[in-house]
Structure 1
Amino acid sequence: MDLRHLRYFIAVAEELHFGRAAARLHIAPSPLSQRIKDLERELRTPLFDRAHHSVGLTRAGEELLPLARDIVDRFDAIPGKLGRRLGSRRRLARVGIAPDVTAPVRETFRAAVEDLETIQLRFHPDNSAPLVGGIRRGELDLAFVHGRVAGADLTSVLVSSSPAGVVVGTGTGFDEKDSLLLSELRDVPYASISQDSAPSVYRATEALLSRHGVRRRIELDTHHPADLVHVVASGQGFTFVSLEGGATYKAFVGEPVRILAVDDVPLRLTTYAIWRTDRDVSGDVVHELSMVVAGL
């Protein structure tokens, strides 16, 4: 057993779904399942009840979860504690970052934090919904997510609003175009990753598409934006991308696709910095991070 096994166990225990846990960990479901089986074999007890459509914790799993979290948290705290013992004033800050956060937002924030000389920054990539959960559970100090997040317990600050466009495969009737009307896509399915990855973004997207008569859908059972490439490049559907970069945009570079502006709708991909409101107090690293966000 090592820390990786415990991190994998925690992810599955929190998601109660091997596919979502694998996406959160950025690995395939098969090796994740095998690592959990290895852990169960070493502990000589099942940790999960696996039904056909559901996953639940056994009593042993429920007992292990707080112990595993404690061990992982203690390990992750070592750099900060060691630095303080050696006279360093740097504290560890765990910052979540969604796939399509642009490089300028990330690098401007990183440079501003580095200028403080009091914080050691560690980025945790994931989709927006798991990042919001990580903030609420206290596993992350701050996160950059897509779409505004509701809740009195969280502070949400807009840091970026990037122009977005449409990606279609070549040979689908749009090769001679640099832009289009959204209604021109009414006969083309809209392709997305699992919409639970960023619920507020997809709710707004669904409403927009319905208003323009675009009703066909392909929702992939994945949380990886790069998986959209195969569907769109083969002409099966279209999707949206930020025109200023990000993981989804980069996934289509070099592929047989056209990236087009939309003439009749001002498409924007918004990025918000979020943190727990009750932690924005003097002495908490979140307060220092919130001051950095205010200056972006």
Structure 2
Amino acid sequence: MELRQIQYFVAVAEDLHFGRAAERLHIGQPAVSQQVRRLERELSAELFDRSGRTVTLTPAGRALLPEGREVLRAMDSFAATARRLAAQGDATFRVGISSALGQRLDDFLDALPDRGAGTRFEFQTLDAHTRLEEVRAGRLDAAFVRGLESVPGLLLLSLWQDPLVVALPAAHELAGRDRLRLADLARLPLRIAPRAENPVLFDTVVLACRKAGFEPALGPPSTGLQETLAEIGAGAGGWIPMYPAAAGTVSSRRVAVLPLDGEPVAIRMSLALRADADPERLKLLTETSARVHGKSAGKETSV
């Protein structure tokens, strides 16, 4: 018995006409008739009554039709699963990232479910605006973005909260403390990128300073983290807010990095992707993001 015999039987049973079934199958009618006859011989049962002017199903044919349809559905499902697994094995996810993810990126990759183990990732370091535009255009499959509650046309999957830390000159009297209150920094100039370049970070820090009771005095704008850290270590003074993942990049003994005491100044990290993304990719990234979020929430609760 061959699958094509069952396929031909189901087609004739649904059309009750060998000619129309052959047209639907895009093969000649003699081939359909031949294979159905062969199936009947193998089953030792007549499936169609051909004695009248029209073709009708015999009792055996009516009984076997649901079984035949189920076999074909199983075959379609098998083929679809095989195609999906093959595509997944060769899948490449193009993801936009920032330059300050550090170990957080490892946490995301570690959270991939077993079925995503063969997935290959290509990462592009881009500014936040470009990351979102590339996802919208379909040139990126997803992007890590900070501090956004919603983005038109995109889906945001929550990942973790990044509590900011502070870098300041190691020679400053405040550097000797274990932790700082934000208000302790009121008399030091704030070194931060202009709002136009990073509105999320700028607004979060300035609002936190105001909640702490002071208006931050803006020093020369930060043109890059490493450059600004070097300037602070060389005596330029001031303080700069940093993401925890970037703290490990501070190697100068002239710069001290301290956590903030009290209510954390935190920025949420999310994964942005198109709402109409491929269902399998959407499912994989949603499950991975949920795992990262759950693990991160557990750490925050235990602190």
* TM norm structure 1: 0.60
Letter in 2 for 1:216: A
Instruction: Choose from 278, 281, 290 the match for 2:286.
Output: 290
Task: Tell which structure's C-alpha radius of gyration is larger.
Answer: 2
For residue 110 of structure 1, what is the amino acid of its counterpart?
Answer: L
Q: What is the rounded CA distance, in whole Å, between the counterparts of 2:253 and 2:145 in structure 1? A: 27
Give 1:176-255 correspondences, 5 Å limit: 176-211=176-211, 212-218=213-219, 220=221, 222=223, 224-233=224-233, 234-243=235-244, 246=245, 248-255=246-253
Greater per-residue strand proportion: 1
Give CA-to-partner distance per residue, 1:215-246, whole Å, 9 cap, x none.
21135363x32222123222421011234xx2
Change (3 A) 1:122 1:113: farther
> How many residues matched?
204
1:264 aligns with 2:265: no
For 1:201 and 1:292, the matched residues in 2 are separated by 26
Distance change >3 Å, CA 195–CA 250, structure 1 → 2: farther
Check the 8 A contact 1:98/1:146 in 2, yes or no: no
Task: Please list the CA deviations of residues 181-206 of structure 1 after superposition, one character each: whole Å capped at 9, or x if unmatched.
Answer: 21221121111134344322322222
Question: What does 1:77-226 correspond to in 2, within 5 Å?
Answer: 89-103=89-103, 105-113=104-112, 115=114, 116-211=116-211, 212-218=213-219, 220=221, 222=223, 224-226=224-226
For 1:229 and 1:92, how far apart are their aligned partners in 2? 36
> Displacement, 1:107?
1.6
Structure 1 residues 109 and 183: alpha-carbon distance in aligned structure 2, compared to 1, 3 A threshold = closer
CA apart distance, 1:294: 2.6
Amino acid at match of 2:289: V
CA distance in 1, matches of 2:175, 2:183: 17
The alignment partner of 2:263 has SS state of coil
Contact kept in structure 1, 2:165 and 2:259, CA below 8 Å: yes
Cα distance 1:267–1:204, how it changes in 2: closer, same or farther (>3 A)? closer
Letter in 1 for 2:238: G
Change (3 A) 1:145 1:177: same
RMSD over aligned CA atoms reads 2.6
Q: CA deviation at 1:92?
A: 1.6
Q: How many Å apart are 1:159 and its aligned residue?
A: 1.0
The answer to whether the Cα contact below 8 Å between 1:129 and 1:196 also exists between their aligned partners in 2 is no
Does the 8 Å CA contact 1:96/1:144 hold for their aligned counterparts?
yes
Contact 1:93–1:141 (CA<8 Å) still a contact in 2? yes
SS at 1:294 equivalent: helix
Cα distance in 1, alignment partners of residues 236 and 256 from structure 2: 11
Post-superposition, which runs of at least 4 consecutive aligned residues in structure 1 deviate over 4 A?
A: none
Amino acid in the other structure paired with 1:293: S
Secondary structure class of the residue paired with 1:195:
coil
Distance 2:222 2:251 in 1: 23
| Counterpart residue number, 1:58 | none
Question: How far is the alpha carbon of 1:291 from its aligned partner?
Answer: 3.1
1-side partners of 2:175 and 2:94: how far apart? Answer: 43
CA distance in 2 between counterparts of 1:99 and 1:107 reads: 14
Map Cα deviations across residues 246-287 of structure 1 (whole Å, 9 max, x no partner).
2x32332234122222223322243211112222x425x344
